Amino acid sequence: MIHFEWPWLLLCLPLPLFIRWLLPPVHPIEQAALKVPFLEDFGELQSRQFIIKRKRWPVWLAAIAWFLLIIASIRPQWLGEPIEQAVSGRDLMLAVDLSGSMEEQDFVINGEQVDRLTATKAVAGEFIRRRVGDRIGLILFGSKAYLQTPLTFDRKTVLTLLDESAIGLAGKNTAIGDAIGLAVKRLRKQSANSRVLILLTDGANTAGEISPLKAAELATKERLKIYTIGVGADEMLVRSMFGVRKVNPSRDLDEKTLKAIAEKTGGRYFRARNTEELEGIYKILDQLEPVEKDQQFFRPRTELFHWPLAVALILAAIISLSYLRWV
């Protein structure tokens, strides 16, 4: 259907008539004498004036051009069929640990040994791509917690900023409590039934101004559900000058605190010892129940003003050329 954005501009349509009515007419300049050296020139002048008086079509063209200019100014648009928007109502905040321990290479992707952050980027990236209709935010934390991306439907931007994150960017330590506190602050104004934080870390709280359990209490009061993910293998083979020995690269992981955070807020704790387990965790998180919201529709708009504007300019050019030819 046709829609006009500014229909009130149609009031300008009779403006030329008002101007002609209000302004006094222009009288021709009277000269004392007219000298015509040749009789042929006088006859040619009379013939030209007669043609100008008889040809009224430039006036009609000008009227049509003015009408088309008014049509262009009211911005005609073609509205397409309503398209339902995929909006689930979930507000997900991802908090990713960038502390120094995330550089431990105890994950394998495509047969290649990679660090924990690289594995997190690969798996979390696929998780973000699947969250069509959800608003997603990103918090990066180390010694400090920073809001990298506020809640947005623009998943591409979230993916880009996650890929650009680097170990140590927020400091070498781990401020789990500050990350939760920042999420509480950013999600406080959102719908109480749609606040979800997914916190991924490989260590214990060693920095920050608030303890993780205290932050979890604040999250509980604000009805923020927290899913915690502990990252890191249970054992790893390390070569040294004394041979090969087994070590536990996740010895600093505070599973007790992460479980307590999840239980306090009504979430769950997951353990990701390898890439396959990490992928399975995000598939479980994909099954979070959406919050019912009113359906939202979008109608695509196509601007049409350039068509009447182009015709008006062509008519104005024709009038100008014809006037120059007569003069």
The CATH number of residue 218's host domain is 3.40.50.410
Backbone angles phi, psi at 147, to 5 degrees: -85, 110
Q: Are 65 and 95 within one domain?
A: no
Residue 111 placed within a domain: yes
Distance CA 259, CA 267 (A): 9
CB 103 within 8 A of CB 306: no
The per-residue pLDDT of the chain, averaged, comes to: 79
Distance, in Å, from the CA atom of 236 to the CA atom of 127, rounded to the nearest integer, reads 27
Same domain, 140 and 262: yes
State whether 51 and 118 are in the same domain: no
Looking at the structure, tell me whether residues 92 and 184 fall in a common domain.
yes
Q: Tell me which DSSP letter residue 290 carries.
A: P
More confident residue, 155 or 323: 155
Regarding whether 207 and 119 lie in a shared domain, the answer is: yes
223 and 175 within one domain = yes
Helices within 231-288 (DSSP H only): 255-265, 275-285
Q: In angstroms, rounded to a whole number, what is the distance separating the alpha carbons of residues 20 and 253?
A: 86
- Alpha-carbon span 91 to 195, nearest angstrom: 5
Is residue 52's pLDDT more than 60? no
Residues 192 and 120 in one domain: yes
Calpha distance 319→327 (Å, rounded):
12
Helix (H, G, I), strand (E, B) or coil at 106: coil
Contact yes or no for 178/208 (Cβ under 8 A): yes
Query: CA 179, CA 136: separation in Å to the nearest integer?
Result: 15
Classify residue 144: in a domain, yes or no. Answer: yes
Torsion of CA 241, 242, 244, 246, to 10 degrees: -120
- Residue 129 inside a domain? The answer is yes
Domain count, the chain: 2
Residue 186 confidence (pLDDT) = 87
| 146 within some domain | yes
In a domain, 101, yes or no: yes
Residue 135 lies in a domain: yes
Domain holding 58, by residue range, is: 2-17+43-81+299-326
CA distances 22 to 19, 62, 187, Å, are: 5, 19, 62
Task: Using alpha carbons, list the distances in angstroms from residue 251 to 81, 254, 269, 308.
Answer: 58, 8, 17, 73
Q: Tell me, yes or no, whether 150 and 237 share the same domain.
A: yes
Same domain, 137 and 263: yes
Are residue 132 and residue 199 in the same domain, yes or no? Answer: yes
pLDDT at 114: 83
pLDDT tens for each residue of 76-92: 888 877 765 555 567 88
Tokens of 121: 């980027």
User: Residue 32: inside a domain, yes or no?
Assistant: no
Say how many CA atoms lie within 13 Å of 130 toward its Cβ: 13
Q: How confident is the model at residue 248 (pLDDT cuts 50, 70, 90)?
A: low
322 or 218, which is more confident: 218
Output the pTM of the full model: 0.61
Residue 97 inside a domain? The answer is: yes
β partners of residue 297: 84
Strands (E), the chain: 2-4, 76-79, 83-85, 91-97, 107-109, 112-114, 135-141, 145-152, 195-201, 225-231, 236-240, 243-247, 269-272, 296-298, 301-303
Which pLDDT does position 67 carry in this prediction? 92
Tell me: do 61 and 117 sit in the same domain. Answer: no
Q: Let me know whether 121 and 250 are in one domain.
A: yes
